[in-house]
Every structure is written in structure tokens, then in C-alpha cells.
Chains A and B, each alone.
Chain A
């Protein structure tokens, strides 16, 4: 058998508002813990090298690539995934905007893109074009050319402004 040094460890954190515990190897990717242990398959793997952002989640309020976070470092963290963006049964303004304005085509980049957009709007509630582009620059989309993603973010920001 290959050399083994690690044993699975217990992991406790808060995911989408709920306390969860599970077991994982200390250097298992948080992405895999979410998908395989917690069955939250909304977060996707696109590259396994922190380039595409399909695995984007919020960890303690910061946008991170979950494929680059080892499980041990998620101990005690507060995590939000795409499943936590939907509030109860209602769509978040960003999610609704993506539907209305064509921000999602094949949908594989969409969960990460929405997390990035939600995180951006939390930091810049009325972002300009440069801020939107910059905020999403870590999320690759092969289908849309980004145009309708920008439009979706602008629409969501406008929607929030009207509601505020």
C-alpha cells in the first residue's frame, strides 16, 4: 500500500447557516468535502488549480476558491455556497437577474459566478463597469463572453437600490 500518514479528522463548521460535522483527510479539498461529504453539489470543479472560479464560495465572508482550501483550514469557518444564496424558497436578486438577463448559459460557471457577484455587491453595492469586471475576473465563463453576466449584475444592483 502507498505510505499513509494521515487519518481522517472530524470537521465542524457552519455551512449555509447550519452547523455541520463530517470527516475528511486534513488536506482534502474543501470543494470535495462540500460535494461529497455534505452532498452540496452546487459548487463545481472546473480546473482544480484555482483558475476558473467554478468552485468559488464565501468563507468567513471572503470569496475563496474551495479547490484551494484544505479541509483542516475550514474548521470553525462560516461558509456560504450557492445553496445558501437562495433564501428559503426565494431567489436572490442576482439569481433572478441571471435568469432574466441571460447570465447563465450552460450553467457550470454559474454557481461560482453568482457567489462572486453576490460578494462583489456586498463590497460595492453600486459597482461601476470596471469594478464588476474586476470582481468577476477570477471566474471564467466560456459560453457568454461575460456581456450578459455584467448586465445581470447591473440589474441586480439596480434592483437592490430600488428596494433599499
Chain B
């Protein structure tokens, strides 16, 4: 435990409004602290530069999962455990549930939150690719009001995001799938549980009359942020599925879109080759 604890302040605001007004009063001074599964690791390593935190864990305004005909809206403090337990999510958003089940383990899933995961902005996180596939939107609030941001444009660079000082993520909204989509999720890590992904692939699509009518593909750990493989999607859209040339073209397109690096966990070459192979596996799922 390498942090100098007397230097770290944390307060519990009584409600969301109080939290937002505290953050507005001292711009940039206070950061939100949810389940702590990322921030506490940094603290213990002596690598948490920020010093003042607002404990938002008990803010009821940030909890709860609500479903309408068109959307499911999840409070930012929804934990991975809660995601997996929710009937509608389990039925209609399997990629999000898979991502939740493969993040950490039981104990971290009880404390890790979707909002915290988004704000931590690790390119290796597992739920962001699922959220991209589900056209997620992020609700951001501050003392000045609220705004919605499409998740696909929320991350602007490595650990950079469309979140200003004084702002908090309040909820995440995903669109309920209108037709029968085939969905695919695969996380490749160094082991089966508690692994940071070397590559994470989430995708969904539907086939009509032998052609790919709609497709979404998103990847983690292959770029500075979660990546929507838009060019690969474009190439696939409207094409006949059985074409062998299509697979190769799509794999080449994907290989060109991603920018995987060498790091202590894996290599760019491995990530690129596996991305291609997982795309092939996804297309098999689409064709089945």
C-alpha cells in the first residue's frame, strides 16, 4: 500500500445535486469515486495523482435499470453483477452480459460499475465494445444541466473523453433490438477469468435473403480507445454472406482499421491476426 493516505480526501455528498454543486464550486478539484475497482488499484500502487474524491456509491439517482418499449436505461452505478441478473438484459443484450460476466470475477463484479468503467476509459475494458454494438448513449449531468452523447463518440483519444470538469455520467441508454439479431462476443485474455483482454470483439448483425442487412462490430484493446470498425461494417453491409472473397476483404479492412500495439500483455501482430480470425468466427455465426 504505497499511497500517503493523509493526502487523500473523500467525502460523501448527500445527493446528486450536492455532488454536482461541489464539483461546480471547485472545478477540476473533485472526482467521482464509484466502486473503486480501478481507482483503488492505482491508489495502492502509489499512482493515483488525484487527491479529492466524492463518494457517489450511494447516490440513488445513479442506480436502477429502467426499460421502455424502445430503450433500456441503466444508472451509471449499475454493477456488472446487476447487469447479469437483469432479465431483459440477459435476454436482449447478451453481449453486455457476457462482458459483465468476463470482467474480473465475482468480487469485482459486485463493485465494478458501468459508469466507472466508461470514465476510467481503459482501451482494454470489456463492456465498451458491447455498448458500441448496442448504439449506447451516455447521459452526462452537471450543475448546469444534462446532455446526451452517443457513446461511439464519447472517447476522443487515449484516456480522453467528452466529459468536462464538473460533469458526471448519470446513465447509459441502449436501444432494444428491433429484429432477431445474431450476436457474438469473444474476449481473449491470458486466462479464462480475471484477465485483462488482449483483444475483445463484440458484434451483432442480421441477415436477410442471404445478404448482411445490418452489422455492428466493435473491438477493445486494438486502439487507444474502444473502436467501432465502421469501415469493416460498411464493406460488409449489403453483401452476400457466402463469398470467400468477402471474408478476406473484410479481414483486410479490419486489419487496416485497428492499431494494436505491443505491450507487456501481448503483441500488435497477435492482436491483428486474432482480430481477423474472430471476424471470421463472427461471420460463421451470422451464417449459421
Contacts and interface: CB of A to CB of B under 8 A. Distances in A.
A135 interface: yes
Given A64-B107, A116-B106, A50 B7 contact: no
A39 B203 CA distance: 50
Interface string A1-29: 01111110000000000000000011111
Nearest to A115: B107
A69 B53 CA distance: 14
B53 A27 contact: yes
B213 interface: no
Contacts of A152: none
B280 interface: no
* Most interface-central of B3, B41, B81 (chain A CB within 10 A): B41
B239 interface: no
A3 B51 CA distance: 10
B7 A64 contact: no
B12 interface: yes
B106 A63 contact: yes
B26 to A, nearest CB: 12
Contacts of B98: none
A32 B1 CA distance: 10
A72 B44 contact: no
Nearest to B5: A25
B106 A138 contact: yes
Contact of A64 (B43, B53, B111): B111
Interface string B174-209: 000000000000000000111000000000000000
Give chain A's interface secondary structure class: loop
A62 interface: yes
A19 B53 CA distance: 27
A6 B110 contact: no
Nearest to A66: B107
B6 interface: yes
Interface residues of B, number: 36
A107 B40 CA distance: 26
B104 interface: yes
B155 to A, nearest CB: 24
A67 interface: yes
A105 interface: no
B97 to A, nearest CB: 14
B45 A68 contact: no
A65 B107 contact: yes
A7 to B, nearest CB: 8
B4 A2 contact: yes
Nearest to B42: A49
A73 interface: yes
A8 B178 CA distance: 53
Q: Which 8 A-B pairs have the closest CB atoms?
A: A138-B105, A137-B193, A26-B10, A62-B110, A25-B5, A4-B6, A68-B40, A27-B8
5 contacts: A4-B7, A6-B9, A65-B108, A72-B10, A137-B105
Given A26-B8, A27-B3, A27-B43, 20 more contacts: A4-B7, A7-B6, A25-B6, A25-B8, A28-B5, A50-B107, A63-B107, A63-B110, A65-B111, A68-B35, A68-B36, A68-B40, A72-B10, A75-B12, A119-B106, A135-B106, A137-B105, A137-B193, A138-B106, A139-B105
Interface of A: 2-7, 25-29, 32, 48-51, 53, 56, 62-65, 67-70, 72-73, 75, 116, 119-120, 134-135, 137-139
